[in-house]
Amino acid sequence: MVGYEVSPVRFGRLAAGLIPAGNGFLLMGKVSTIITIDVEEWFHGHNYLEHIPENKWDHLESRVRAGTDLCLELLDRYEKKATFFVLGWTAERHPEVVRQIQAAGHEIACHSYAHPVVFELSEEQFREDCLRARQALADAGAPDVLGYRAPSFSITPAVHHYLDILQECGFRYDCSLFPVRHPRYGQPHSPRRPFRLQESKDSLLEVPMPTWRFLGQNVPFSGGGYLRILPWPAFKLLRKFAEWQNIPCIVYLHPWELDNYKPQVGQSAATSLRSQGGQDSMPLKLDRILSESSCETLQQYVNRLRLDDNLDVRKTFAVVK
Ligand SMILES: [Zn+2]
């Protein structure tokens, strides 16, 4: 089995009770809810991509505006701010969407240029994709993006050193690690809590996706197919359990998950379930989350973390066979 070792250079203090080591004091008390939206077309989802080559993208129906508009309306209704990870490809074709998100006061971050599976890219290809994405976002009016999220959380242990490339490319935080078992992106042994790559407070800060730790396993709940398929009471319970472990609820969703568009492109029934199951429930779930949560953007959360002298620093990520 492939995993990776982490070498914590410095652990934070051990807080009492249910709060394990690391970044204890700033996060005690009310745990954040952070809404994040990966702004991409329906066909960028990797469940569809295997049926649709990139040279067909420009000929397919664009739905990104409809889903993004609905998301912005809900956020506006509850006067909440969110972080939008925008695909460079989408920013080039719909710069008005970037401007609309910015005008509403939300954070723009980066979701790659062409939605690659990162662990299939060479270092140079990954660097090129990052820089092309930054340029596309800058051209659309967002030159100062700080955050990055890999498509399908595909910064896996084998390419963990690519986090250094993100730092080189000007990103200040990353939200690409998902410490769960999954056939495409699972990395159950990665840290569950934020950490810095280096001692410097300016170092790239990693914010893993939230999980609830139960019986030695990490349980996901906060977005995508997990959020779509989970009944609302189950989501609330898992969120509460994770909060007791001092894990913020970073919700992630896509414009196409808020849409009622359900394309058939030759995918199997199982793939349809993964990509469309529970789709009708997403607008109501987002509405409920917004109505009962105090929200902040990822940038605001990261800025608070940077003040935490006890934040873990982890430098070594060796692949273990
Ligand atoms: Zn994506």
Q: Which amino acid is at 138?
A: A
Ligand 1 centroid from CA 9, angstroms = 32
Ligand 1 centroid from CA 63, angstroms = 14
Most distant CA atoms of the chain, gap in Å: 56
Q: What is the distance between the alpha carbons of residues 179 and 50, in angstroms, rounded to a whole number?
A: 24
pTM beyond 0.75: yes
Ligand 1 centroid from CA 103, angstroms = 23
Q: What is the distance between the alpha carbons of residues 149 and 209, in angstroms, rounded to a whole number?
A: 10
Strand 83-86 to strand 107-110: parallel, antiparallel, or no bridges (unpaired)? parallel
Q: How many helices (H) and strands (E) does the chain have?
A: 12, 12
Domain containing 117 — which CATH number? 3.20.20.370
Q: What is the distance between the alpha carbons of residues 221 and 209, in angstroms, rounded to a whole number?
A: 10
Q: Please give the residue range of the domain that contains residue 83.
A: 3-14+22-320
How buried is residue 307: exposed, middle or buried, by Cβ count under 10 Å (0-12/13-18/19+)? exposed
Ligand 1 centroid from CA 274, angstroms = 14
Ligand 1 centroid from CA 178, angstroms = 14
pLDDT tens-digit profile, the chain (321 residues): 334 444 443 333 333 223 343 444 344 446 789 999 999 998 898 777 778 888 899 999 999 999 999 999 999 999 999 999 999 999 999 999 999 999 999 999 999 999 999 999 999 999 999 999 999 999 999 999 999 999 999 998 889 899 999 999 999 999 999 988 877 776 788 889 999 998 888 899 999 999 999 998 999 999 988 999 999 999 999 999 999 999 999 999 999 988 887 777 777 777 777 777 777 889 999 999 999 999 999 999 999 998 887 888 886 554 443
Count of domains observed in the chain? 1
Ligand 1 centroid from CA 262, angstroms = 17
Q: Compute, in degrees rounded to 10, the torsion defined by CA atoms 227, 30, 299, 297.
A: 50
Ligand 1 centroid from CA 26, angstroms = 30
**For residue 198, what are its two tokens?**
């280096």
H or E stretch covering 251? strand 249-253
- Closest by alpha carbon to 106, among 130, 71, 148, 63? 71
Ligand 1 centroid from CA 289, angstroms = 21
